[in-house]
């Protein structure tokens, strides 16, 4: 073992060859406490959790609204499609008859139902528009 | 080092009204000791200061979860060690060099460090220490510079005494070889 080894690995260990000034350690606590937010961590955490819960609630609500909207649109489309699509075992003549049955009056009724207006609304509209003319 | 009544601190930590004051006492008592533990790993004053502050900020964020299952210093030390590793990893990534070359190329210039207070041999020793992986480095420093008992180190780092002895032995062997290569 060399002299350096003997010196380094002496039985008493060694001194760590770095120093830091007393001034540094005197101000250390104050400097660290400046970095610490005034709020208690518990309050911070509960605030964060509240935000997370809000986000989740909004997401869930939006998902429900979207699902209901899509379902309503599908039902509406299906209703109209069923009305206009001839049944597979109907002959072309029967289909023509069905088309004829589906008169302008039926169409207007469906339209009114779709537009969510009733006869009273139509009378009101017609009477006010004829008055303005 | 000032003594701290951990039971009293625990009670004050649980109470939001006294938590900040209790935490300030923790910082006051343990910051100096933690500073050197971090310095063993990152090896310069500025980086140690940054890591130490991050350590206490993390500790503050998690203090309500500290239930006294381990000693307060052990808990703080583990945060400090993880923060030091994160820092070393970032430094390595910034240097954009692979792990093998890292210790060699990043060997600090201790003589230029205004906080270095040693001679040529001590500088060589610190260079040798800087080549050790963090786990070996911390065991070597705690044993060699602080003359801590293995049982004490084991309580702090959470590694078995046998594993620590093996780590220290390997570290000493590496340092000896480092010195031989410099002769």
Taking CA atoms, what residue in A is nearest to B57? A36
Number of domains in chain B: 2
Q: Are residues B93 and B140 in the same domain?
A: no
Residue-range domain boundaries for chain A: 22-85, 87-133
Tens of pLDDT, residues A13-42: 588 999 998 899 999 999 999 999 886 555
Please indicate, yes or no, if residue B80 is contained in any of the structural domains.
Answer: yes
Distance from CA of B32 to the nearest CA of A (A): 7
* Domain final residue pick, B81, B106, B131: B106
* Calpha distance A15→B169 (Å, rounded): 19
A42 touches chain B (CB under 8 A): yes
CB atoms < 10 A from the CB of A41, how many?
21
Query: Do B90 and B48 share a domain, yes or no?
Result: yes
* Predicted confidence (pLDDT) per residue in A40-69, tens digit: 555 554 555 555 444 455 566 677 777 888
In angstroms, how far is CA A10 from the centroid of its own chain? 68
Asked if residue B155 and residue B94 are part of one domain, the reply reads no
From A9, A29, A35, residue closest to B31, measured CB to CB: A29
Residue of A nearest to B13 (CA): A40
Q: Are residues B92 and B5 in the same domain?
A: yes
Whether residue B168 contacts residue B139, with contact meaning beta carbons closer than 8 Å, is answered with yes
Question: Which of B32, B57, B179 is opposite residue A5, by nearest beta carbon?
Answer: B179
Show the domain range for B55. 1-106
CB within 8 Å: B117 and A17:
yes
pLDDT, one tens digit per residue, over B130-176 is 999 999 999 999 999 999 999 999 999 999 999 999 999 999 999 99
Q: Is residue B134 part of a domain?
A: yes
Closest alpha carbon to B138 in B124, B120, B150, B123: B150
Tell whether B3 and B54 lie within a shared domain: yes
The model's pTM: 0.66
The answer to whether the CB atoms of B172 and A25 lie below 8 A apart is no
A89-127 pLDDT tens trace: 667 777 677 666 666 666 666 766 666 666 666 666 677
Q: CA torsion angle for A5, A6, A11, A16 (degrees, to 10)?
A: -50
Quote the ipTM score: 0.84
CATH code of the domain containing B182: 1.10.10.10
Nearest residue of A to residue B18, measured between CA atoms: A40
| Residue B90 contacts residue B57 (beta carbons within 8 Å) | no
User: Is residue B92 domain-shared with residue B123, that is, in the same domain?
Assistant: no
Q: Does A8 touch chain B (CB under 8 A)?
A: yes
Contact A13 B145 (CB under 8 A): yes
Q: Using a CB–CB cutoff of 8 Å, tell me whether A33 touches chain B.
A: yes
Cβ of A33 within 8 Å of Cβ of B27? The answer is yes
In A15-40, which ranges are continuous DSSP H helix?
A: 22-35
């Amino acid at each position: 073992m060399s002299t350096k080894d003997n010196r380094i690995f002496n039985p008493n260990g060694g001194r760590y060859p770095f120093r830091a000034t007393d001034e540094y350690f005197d101000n250390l606590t104050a400097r660290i406490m400046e970095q610490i937010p005034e709020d208690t961590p518990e309050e911070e955490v509960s605030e964060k959790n509240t935000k997370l819960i809000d986000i989740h609630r909004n997401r869930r609500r939006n998902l429900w609204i979207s699902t209901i909207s899509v379902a309503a649109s599908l039902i509406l489309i299906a209703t109209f499609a069923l009305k206009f699509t001839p049944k597979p075992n109907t002959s072309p003549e029967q289909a023509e008859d069905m088309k004829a049955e589906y008169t302008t009056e039926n169409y207007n009724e469906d339209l009114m139902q779709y537009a969510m207006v009733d006869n009273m609304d139509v009378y009101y509209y017609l009477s006010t528009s004829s008055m303005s003319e | 080092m000032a003594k701290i009544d951990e039971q009293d601190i625990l009670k004050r930590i649980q109470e939001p009204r006294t938590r900040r004051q209790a935490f300030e006492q923790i910082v006051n008592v343990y910051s100096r000791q933690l500073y050197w533990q971090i310095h063993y790993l990152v090896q310069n004053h500025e980086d140690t200061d940054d890591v130490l502050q991050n350590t206490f900020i993390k500790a503050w964020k998690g203090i309500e979860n500290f239930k006294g299952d381990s000693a307060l210093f052990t808990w703080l030390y583990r945060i400090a060690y993880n923060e030091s590793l994160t820092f070393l990893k970032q430094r390595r990534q910034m240097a954009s060099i692979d792990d093998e070359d890292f210790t060699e190329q990043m060997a600090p210039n201790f003589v230029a460090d205004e906080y270095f207070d040693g001679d040529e041999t001590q500088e060589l020793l610190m260079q040798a220490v800087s080549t050790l992986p963090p786990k070996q480095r911390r065991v070597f420093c705690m044993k060699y510079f602080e003359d801590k008992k293995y049982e004490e180190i084991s309580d702090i780092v959470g590694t078995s005494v046998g594993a620590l002895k093996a780590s220290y032995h390997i570290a000493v062997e590496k340092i000896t070889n480092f010195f031989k290569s410099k002769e």
